[in-house]
Structure 1
Amino acid sequence: MGKRLFYWELAGALFTAALGTLLHFAYDWSGGWGAAAAFSAVNESTWEHMKLLFFPMFLFSVVQVCCLGRNYPNFLAARGVSTVTGVALIPVLFYTYTGVLGRHLLWADIAVFYLSVLGAFALDFRLLRRGRFTSLWQQILGLLALWGLAFLFVYCTFHPPELGLWQDPVTLGYGLPK
C-alpha cells in the first residue's frame, strides 16, 4: 500500500508542477478569457502564483479521492493541510529569499514553486501514511479548507484587496490587467 501511495503522490507532484507551469501562461494564451482568469495567473503577483499550485493540486485531489479515498479515511483532512501548507510555502519562501537578497531572481522564483509543490506532496504522503486526522469533523474541515481556498482564489482574482500579496510588481496594479 505504501508503494502505491508513493506513486500516486509522485504523479500528483508531477501533474501539479506541469499544469501549474502551463497555467502561468494560460490567461495570456486565452486572449484574456474570464474563465481562464479564474484558474490561471492573470499577473505576476504572489497571490496569482499561489493559484498555480492550488488548482492543479485541487484537480488531482478530485481524481485521487475517487481512486484512493476508501483506503485513506484521513484523505480530505491530510490533503487540506498539505494544500494549505504548499500554498503558504510560496509567499514564505519568496519573501524570505527576496528579503535576504533585496531582489528576486527568475530561477529562484521557479524553484520556490517547485519546492512548494514537493513540500505539499511530501507532507501529504507523510500524513496519509500516519493515518491521523480520521474523524468526521476533521474530514469536513479539510474539505472546507479546499473549497474555501478555491472560492478565495477565484474571488480575489476579480476583486483583489489592495495589499502587497495581490500587487503585480511589474504593473503595480491589482487583479486583472486593465
Structure 2
Amino acid sequence: MKKRLLLWEAAGFLFTAAVGALLHFTYDWSGGTVLAAAFSAVNESTWEHMKLLFFPVFFFSVIQVCFLGRNYPNVLSARAAGTLAGLVLIPTLFYTYTGVFGRHWLWADIAVFLIAAAAVYAVDFLLLERRCPGGLWRQVAGLLVLWLLAFLFICFTFRPPQLPLWQDPVTGLYGIPVS
C-alpha cells in the first residue's frame, strides 16, 4: 500500500511539474483567450506563478480522489494541507532569495517551483501514510479550501488586488496585459 501511494505521489509531482511548465505558455499560445487566462499565467507576477502550481495539483487531485479515495479517507484534507504548504513556499522562497541576492535567476525560479511541487506531494504523502483522521468535516474543509483557492486564482487573474504579489515585475502592471 505504501509503495502504491508513493507511486501516486511521484506521478502527481511529475504531472504538476510538466503541466505547470506548459501552463506558463498556454495563455500566449492561445492568443490570449479567457479560458486560458483562467488556468494559465497571464503575466510574470508571483501570484500567476503560484497558479502554475495550483491548477495541475487541483486537476491531479480529482484523478487521485477517484482512485485512492476509498483507501485514504483523509485524501482531501491531506491534499489541501499539501497545496497550502506548496503555495506558501513559492513567495517565501522567491522573495527570500531575491531579497538576499537583489535579483532573480531563471534556474532558481524553476527550482522554487519544483521545491514547492515536491512539498505538496511530500506533505500529502506524510498525512496519507500516517492515516491522520479523515472525518467528514475535515474532508469537507479540505474540499472547500481547494475550491476557494480555485475561485481566488481565477478571480484575481481578472481583478487582481493592487499589491506587490499581483504586480508583474516586467511591466509593472496587474492582471491580464492590455494590448
Question: Counterparts of 1:24-43 in structure 2 under 5 Å?
Answer: 24-43=24-43
The alignment status of 1:121 with 2:134, answered yes or no, reads no
**Corresponding residue for residue 78 of structure 2:** 78
Larger mean Cα displacement after TM superposition, 58-67 or 134-143: 134-143
Larger mean Cα displacement after TM superposition, 129-138 or 10-19: 129-138
Query: Identity, % of aligned pairs?
Result: 67
**1-structure distance, mates of 2:46, 2:26:** 17
* Equivalences, count: 178
Normalized against structure 2, the TM-score is what? 0.98
Runs of at least 5 residues in structure 1 that lack an aligned partner in the other structure: none
Give the C-alpha shift of residue 133 in structure 1. 3.5
**1-structure distance, mates of 2:55, 2:151:** 11
Matching residue's letter, 2:90? I
For the Cα contact (< 8 Å) 1:168–1:174, is it kept in 2? Answer: yes
Per the alignment, in what secondary structure is the counterpart of residue 41 of structure 2?
Answer: coil
List, as ranges, runs of 4+ consecutive aligned residues in structure 1 with deviation greater than 2 Å. none
Larger mean Cα displacement after TM superposition, 38-47 or 120-129: 120-129
Question: Counterparts of 1:152-163 in structure 2 under 5 Å?
Answer: 152-163=152-163
Matching residue's letter, 2:69? G
For the Cα contact (< 8 Å) 1:27–1:42, is it kept in 2? Answer: yes
Question: Counterparts of 1:2-41 in structure 2 under 5 Å?
Answer: 2-41=2-41
**1-structure distance, mates of 2:111, 2:75:** 27
Per the alignment, in what secondary structure is the counterpart of residue 162 of structure 1?
Answer: coil
Give the C-alpha shift of residue 119 in structure 1. 1.0
Question: Counterparts of 1:65-144 in structure 2 under 5 Å?
Answer: 65-144=65-144
Per the alignment, in what secondary structure is the counterpart of residue 161 of structure 1?
Answer: coil
Larger mean Cα displacement after TM superposition, 154-163 or 97-106: 97-106
For the Cα contact (< 8 Å) 1:78–1:133, is it kept in 2? Answer: no
Deviations 1:50-88 (A, max 9, x none): 000000000000000000000001101000100111111
**Corresponding residue for residue 63 of structure 2:** 63
**2-structure distance, mates of 1:113, 1:133:** 29
For the Cα contact (< 8 Å) 1:77–1:133, is it kept in 2? Answer: no
